[in-house]
Amino acid sequence: MNTRQNRSKTMSIPDKSHLDALYVRLSHESSRLDAAKTDQEREIRGIWVNGIKKEIESEKKFLGITDSQTNPPQSDNDLLKLLYS
């Protein structure tokens, strides 16, 4: 057995691709929520955003990831504040 096979057996790194996709989806839906034009649209998009947040929490539990191991999504305004501070 070569070294690479040994490492893959001893180090099990969880596949976070689904979690990453959820964060991207949350970002997109949050942007759409911010741009919503009617109360009805804001209500339904708010429900979707909350659902995605719950799905992210479930995925993190499944992967055994704590909040200190992930970078929470940040709004554009938060990123700009960090950039200019």
- 36 and 48 Cβ atoms separated by less than 8 Å: no
For residues 82 and 47, the model is more confident at 47
Q: Which residues are CB-contacts of 37 (< 8 A; sequence separation ≥ 6)?
A: none
Model pLDDT for residues 17-66, shown as the tens digit of each residue? 999 999 999 999 999 999 999 999 999 999 999 999 999 999 999 988 87
Q: Is 24 exposed, middle or buried (0-12, 13-18, 19+ CB in 10 A)?
A: exposed
Q: With left for phi above 0 and alpha for psi between -120 and 50, is residue 64 left, alpha or beta? A: left
